[in-house]
Amino acid sequence: MSSSFQSELTGSFSTPCDDNPTVAMVEAAYRHHGLSWRYVNAEVPPAGLAAAVAGARAMGWMGFNLSMPHKVAVIEHLDGLGESARLINAVNCVVNRDGRLIGENTDGKGFLSSLVPVCDPRGKHVMLLGAGGAARAIAVELVLAGVARLSIVNRSADRAEEFARIVRAAKPIEVSVAGWSGDVVVPGDVDVLVNCTSIGLGDATARVPVATASLRPGLVVADVIPNPPRTQLLAAAEAAGCTTLDGLGMLVGQGILGIKYWSGVEADARVMRAALEEAFA
Ligand code: NDP
């Protein structure tokens, strides 16, 4: 459980800070762009969330990021939601807009910013593996960006059906849902395959059950896993001639958007990616 707060402080605070990779990434951007801002990481237990948000509000902080389990619970403490956060019903980035704390969801937008340079999602068929928070954020953003069709594959059927309902509420596009048994075969008309499961986190040998023979040149294969960035799925996809996108691109993309929301500065992706790679090395 952690929340990262970002502020222009007029007082001084002393707190133990965990310099995690995201902190390294955002602070590298601040230094590069000459912003004398800080991005600090604070552990906030669920019982302390209301007080933490009230504190950020009282101190006039420009915003903060949230991770689980605060992404839904924070909503009742905010003054409004951006469109994606409302559709997904989850907030990972709060922005102080003229004293009003507005909840945004930048995970899916971060993914989109890494996808668009290699593939325009408009009219495409995207297959998503997984139905958790990352999958929902990505799906809603893809739908808003104009994908024609989504195929969802998830281990637990209930969660996949609930996920499909959220997507259809965002836009009435074609959404199909399938359970996961054995190796998933990627149909020939799928343009983009995204691993949104947590398989591969911290383990470059962990295998996402996908039929390697169904990976082919022309298919874009993306993985949300940022660490290690070269997952077993991406290695197999590369060997099959697919275009690949790693999870660092998504993480950098959501970071750029947060900095833009808070400061108006368009941060340099290369600087942020280099800081992340160093922190994860
Ligand atoms: P959730 O816990 O909400 O969802 C996890 C998903 O993975 C579920 O669909 C779950 O299926 C599936 N899953 C887990 N283990 C298995 C398995 N062994 N076989 C099949 N399916 C499995 O997590 P999030 O969606 O929040 O996060 C998922 C990953 O995305 C994390 O590893 C996180 O690090 C990464 N992430 C990356 C970001 C980035 O910027 N790069 C941003 C946000 C997240 P089921 O529903 O059946 O349990």
- Distance of alpha carbon 20 from its chain centroid, rounded? 16
Using CA atoms, how far residue 77 sits from 2, 70, 126, 148, in Å, is 17, 11, 34, 35
| Atom number in ligand 1 closest to CA 200 | 32
Looking at the DSSP bridge assignments, the partners of residue 177 are: 152
pLDDT number for residue 14: 65
Specify the residue with its C-alpha closest to ligand 1, atom 4: 132
Catalytic (active site) residue 71: yes
pLDDT number for residue 181: 87
Tell how far the Cα of 86 is from the centroid of ligand 1, in angstroms: 21
Using CA atoms, how far residue 192 sits from 15, 61, 119, 244, in Å, is 43, 38, 8, 10
Ligand 1 in contact with 152 (CB < 6 A)? no
User: Which residues, other chains included, contact 130 with Cβ-Cβ below 8 Å and sequence gap of 6+?
Assistant: 153, 154, 195, 196, 197, 198
Ligand 1 in contact with 179 (CB < 6 A)? no
Specify the residue with its C-alpha closest to ligand 1, atom 1: 132
DSSP 218-262: T-EEEE---SSSS-HHHHHHHHTT-EEE-HHHHHHHHHHHHHHHH
Domains of the chain: 3-105+249-280 (3.40.50.10860), 109-245 (3.40.50.720)
Distance CA 262, CA 217 (A): 40
- Distance of alpha carbon 194 from its chain centroid, rounded? 12
Ligand 1 in contact with 254 (CB < 6 A)? yes
Q: Which of 25, 91, 129, 155 to mutate to test the pocket of ligand 1 (most atoms within 8 A of CB)?
A: 155
Between helix 21-32 and helix 269-280 the angle, nearest 10°, is 150
Ligand 1 in contact with 20 (CB < 6 A)? no
Ligand 1 in contact with 130 (CB < 6 A)? yes
- The answer to whether the beta carbons of residues 128 and 195 sit under 8 Å apart is no
Ligand 1 in contact with 252 (CB < 6 A)? no
Task: Kindly provide the residue ranges of all beta strands, DSSP E only, lying in the chain, ordered along the sequence.
Answer: 3-7, 38-42, 63-66, 80-81, 93-97, 100-104, 125-129, 149-154, 174-179, 192-195, 220-223, 243-245
Residue in this structure with the two tokens 């999870």, named with its chain if needed: 247
Tell how far the Cα of 252 is from the centroid of ligand 1, in angstroms: 18
Tell how far the Cα of 60 is from the centroid of ligand 1, in angstroms: 34
pLDDT number for residue 172: 87
Specify the residue with its C-alpha closest to ligand 1, atom 29: 198
- pLDDT per residue, tens digit, the chain (281 aa), is 344 455 544 456 666 666 689 999 999 999 999 999 999 888 899 999 999 999 999 999 999 999 889 999 999 999 999 999 999 999 999 999 999 999 999 999 999 999 999 999 999 999 999 999 999 999 999 999 999 999 999 999 889 999 998 888 888 899 999 999 899 999 999 999 999 999 999 999 999 999 999 999 999 999 999 999 999 999 999 999 999 999 999 999 999 999 999 999 999 999 999 999 999 88
Tell how far the Cα of 105 is from the centroid of ligand 1, in angstroms: 17
- The answer to whether the beta carbons of residues 137 and 66 sit under 8 Å apart is no
pLDDT number for residue 138: 96
Tell how far the Cα of 10 is from the centroid of ligand 1, in angstroms: 39
Ligand 1 in contact with 226 (CB < 6 A)? yes
pLDDT number for residue 8: 44
Ligand 1 in contact with 224 (CB < 6 A)? yes
Tell how far the Cα of 59 is from the centroid of ligand 1, in angstroms: 34
Between helix 247-263 and helix 21-32 the angle, nearest 10°, is 50
Which pTM value belongs to this model? Answer: 0.93
Looking at the DSSP bridge assignments, the partners of residue 94 are: 64, 103
pLDDT number for residue 164: 92
Between helix 269-280 and helix 247-263 the angle, nearest 10°, is 130
Expressed in angstroms, the distance from the first to the final Cα of the chain is 23
pLDDT number for residue 105: 96
Strand order, beta sheet including 93-97: 38-42, 3-7, 63-66, 93-97, 100-104, 80-81
